[in-house]
Structure 1
Amino acid sequence: RYVMHNSLTWSEELGRYLFVWITFVGLPVALKAGAHVAIDLLLKKTKGRFHIAILTINAVATAILGIVIFYSGIRLVLLGVGQISSAMQLPMQYVYTIIPVSGLLLLFFTVTVYLEERAKALQGDK
């Protein structure tokens, strides 16, 4: 900016879009890694059917969130068709595409993590 006496008009927009993408990619990745903030005191104190019931309720709630993110993301992508970003002239549906992808990944990782945790809980009962 100071060397060429001209600032990059697209850099702020690119930073904003990358921040959105990183946030939506981080949601399912953090779930898979077990890095989400959680209150697991109840899970540590329970065993058996009650433990599995809590795991199931958590998985169902998270799966519903994944479905809502996917559905809302599809609607947003369709809304972005024909819109162009102001500085980069990028079609907005490309920016919004990460939202339904994130919802699907969240749903997939929710199922896999639930099945893994359920299997561990069932083995612990034996």
Structure 2
Amino acid sequence: MKVLKIIRDSINRVIENISIIMLTLMVLVITYQVFMRQVFETSPTWAQALSLFLFLWVGFLGVSYGFREKTHISVEVFYNVFPSSLKKAAALFNTLLIIGVGVVFTYYGFQFALSSMSVNLPGLNIPTGYEYMIIPIAGILMIFYGLVSLFKMEDAAGDQVINGEKEGN
């Protein structure tokens, strides 16, 4: 369990750092694009393609982060009135759904990214498949976080549970 905790924490740090860098870069690129359009009445051809690329990556990393932090949309009005046995069943079903969606993202996302490798992104001149490679990456992350939740490394509050004892994040 300690090895999985180290792996999970390392993945979390990498995702957070990549997201911060990409979001910052996206803001800078869009700011540059707007400045160029307003001041010089021209817009660089690569700016829109790069901002869309970064937006997709940040968005899909955000999806996997949402599953990790359990901040995805849920209907808690009904869940809160369930008895504890039904809450456990619903939590298990939710986790299995997350893993299932992760499998779909991984399988079909990888096929989609590979099929898009022959077409280049306009303005960036890189294969479009790189833009869509985030879909299977997000799927793998969803599967990983679902398995972590399934093996009860985390309780409902997101605290670590190792050998029955809680540990802070």
TM-score, normalized by length of structure 2?
A: 0.63
Higher relative contact order (CA 8 A, sep 6+): 1
Q: Give the aligned partner of residue 109 of structure 2.
A: 73
Match of 2:65 among 12, 17, 29: 29
Which of these residues, 75, 97, 120, is aligned with residue 61 of structure 1? 97
For the residues of structure 2 that align with 1:45 and 1:113, how far apart are their CA atoms? 22
Counterparts of 2:62 and 2:130 in 1: how far apart (Å)? Answer: 18
Give the match for residue 46 of structure 1. Answer: 82
Which residue of structure 1 lines up, in the alignment, with residue 48 of structure 2? 12
Amino acid at match of 2:87: H
Greater Cα offset, 24-33 or 2-11: 2-11
Structure 1 residue runs without a partner (length 5+): none
Q: CA separation in 2, counterparts of 1:47 and 1:58? A: 16
Q: Secondary structure at the match of 2:45?
A: coil
Cα offset, 1:51, TM superposition: 2.0
For 1:24, what is the secondary structure of its paired residue? helix
Root mean square deviation, CA, Å: 2.3
Match of 1:112 in 2: 148
2 CA distance for matches of 1:94 and 1:16? Answer: 12
Out of 129, 134, 140, the position equivalent to 1:93 is: 129
Provide the identity percentage.
Answer: 23
Moved more, 95-104 or 29-38: 29-38
Tell me which stretches of 4 or more aligned residues in structure 1 moved more than 3 Å: 2-6, 117-120
Q: Per the alignment, in what secondary structure is the counterpart of residue 90 of structure 1?
A: coil
Q: Distance in 2 between matches of 1:48 and 1:60?
A: 18
How far 1:110 moved relative to its partner?
Answer: 1.6
Amino acid at match of 1:84: N
Unaligned 5+ runs, structure 2: 1-35, 165-169
Provide the rounded CA distance (Å) in 2 between the counterparts of 1:3 and 1:53.
Answer: 58
| Cα 1:51/1:86, change in 2 over 3 Å | same
Q: Which amino acid aligns with 1:63?
A: I
Q: Distance in 2 between matches of 1:70 and 1:85?
A: 22
